[in-house]
Chain A
Amino acid sequence: MFCEKSLKLIKELDRSQEAMPPFDDDGVRQVFEEMRGLYDQNVAAANDTTADPDGTAISGIAIRHAALERNKRCLLAYAYNRILRVRNMRWQFGPILPHDIKANFNEPEVQWFNNYNICVARYFKSIGAHGLDLTADVKPPKSLYVEVRSLTDYGKLELDNGEVVLLKKHSTHLMSRAQCEPLITQGVLEQISN
């Protein structure tokens, strides 16, 4: 059957939901090969219509062409949906991604992420007189300080007031909201509810 390879790419992406599976170079190459084959056969069939007086070759061409279009759609959807996930990651993980996630990007995706990072940073800087971090204060803040618990052995952290605290697993701290919010979103700290 036509387009089985490209369907496999899409299914793989669908299964992984929001996570990032490794870029399937081999799968993509195989789809390109099938497309090349379909194209060559169609060119040959189109040039050969003189030997086809009853005009039935057109049906075969139409079917192969549909398969070409389908493969194209799958490949583009594969690349596009991966980029959407990359973009989403900038907003959820922040400007630096965990290594094991970035390892699954291909080279153009790494490039794209870096460029997007620059774009976002430039935009944040351009808002208002002093810039505005759009990922901060996602929920209306209630207080300037919050109580947090460390979920990992993060190490030393210098606070805004110059004090240095040691973030150990299960240690609790009272920190300025602005400073700990990114650490909470990234799963280093959790806020303790009162």
Chain B
Amino acid sequence: MDPSEVEFIAEKERVSIVPNFNNATVHLISGDVGPFRAGLPVNVPVWMALNLRQRQKCRILAPDWLDVDKLEALKEEEKASKYFTKMPSEHYMVVAQLILSAVEDDIPRIEEIRMAVKNLWDVRISKLRSSVDTFIKSGGSHARLDYLTTMEINSVRPLLPHALDFIDRLNKASEGAPRRDLSQD
């Protein structure tokens, strides 16, 4: 998948906004949104929040985990743990990227938050790469990795499945099996 497609999926996550207008509940295929009361927080999909913000119809309330101290703590926990830790959002990276770019003026210490998200991402990605490498070297055929987010999984695709397919073909060569996909001959 292209990252923009992952982003598209992630835009269905919900965030809180404070609208400055009144509107009845909106019925969408993905579920109801609203009603909107000026000044009262309401949960909406990220894509809607961004669109309203762009037209200055609302203020976005950043999720509570989008905070330097919380992110630092998550990073430390991630470093200390052998396994992947649970992220506050299934799409933390995308949501952070989108919201931070939309609310430039509303949030203090925005550069620090951006750095903290990037650091957390880097720790997790390098952990992912090491585990992929160990997995390949050990010759395992299945592994269980909990709490990986879609964008992270996407970063080792198609490399990992292609490498596994290839190793499988190499192993089968010793059985003297035909190498070619004969269905297309």
Touch A–B, Cβ below 8 Å: yes
- A interface list, Cβ under 8 A from B: 139-140
CB neighbours of B4 from chain A (8 A): 139-140
CB neighbours of B7 from chain A (8 A): 140
CA distance A140 to B2 in the complex (A): 10
CB neighbours of A140 from chain B (8 A): 4-5, 7-8
| Beta-carbon contacts under 8 Å, B1-23 to A | 2, 4-5, 7-8
- B interface list, Cβ under 8 A from A: 2, 4-5, 7-8
A-B contact pairs, 7 of them (CB 8 A): A139-B2, A139-B4, A139-B5, A140-B4, A140-B5, A140-B7, A140-B8
Query: In the complex, what residue of chain B is closest to A73 when comparing beta carbons?
Result: B185
CA distance A140 to B5 in the complex (A): 7
Query: In the complex, what residue of chain A is closest to B7 when comparing beta carbons?
Result: A140
Query: In the complex, what residue of chain A is closest to B185 when comparing beta carbons?
Result: A73
CA distance A140 to B46 in the complex (A): 14
Query: In the complex, what residue of chain B is closest to A194 when comparing beta carbons?
Result: B101
CB distance from A8 to the nearest CB of B (A): 23
Query: In the complex, what residue of chain B is closest to A140 when comparing beta carbons?
Result: B8
Query: In the complex, what residue of chain A is closest to B2 when comparing beta carbons?
Result: A139
CB neighbours of A139 from chain B (8 A): 2, 4-5
Query: In the complex, what residue of chain B is closest to A138 when comparing beta carbons?
Result: B2
CA distance A139 to B5 in the complex (A): 7
CB distance from B91 to the nearest CB of A (A): 14
CB distance from B105 to the nearest CB of A (A): 16
CA distance A140 to B98 in the complex (A): 14
CA distance A86 to B106 in the complex (A): 52
Query: In the complex, what residue of chain B is closest to A143 when comparing beta carbons?
Result: B54
Query: In the complex, what residue of chain A is closest to B54 when comparing beta carbons?
Result: A143
CB distance from B161 to the nearest CB of A (A): 23
CB distance from B86 to the nearest CB of A (A): 27
CB distance from A9 to the nearest CB of B (A): 20
CA distance A139 to B4 in the complex (A): 6
CB neighbours of B2 from chain A (8 A): 139
CA distance A44 to B5 in the complex (A): 63
CA distance A140 to B1 in the complex (A): 12
CB distance from A146 to the nearest CB of B (A): 14
CA distance A139 to B8 in the complex (A): 9
CB distance from B99 to the nearest CB of A (A): 15
CB neighbours of B8 from chain A (8 A): 140
CB distance from A138 to the nearest CB of B (A): 8
CA distance A167 to B174 in the complex (A): 61
CA distance A99 to B164 in the complex (A): 42
Query: In the complex, what residue of chain A is closest to B8 when comparing beta carbons?
Result: A140
Query: In the complex, what residue of chain A is closest to B11 when comparing beta carbons?
Result: A140
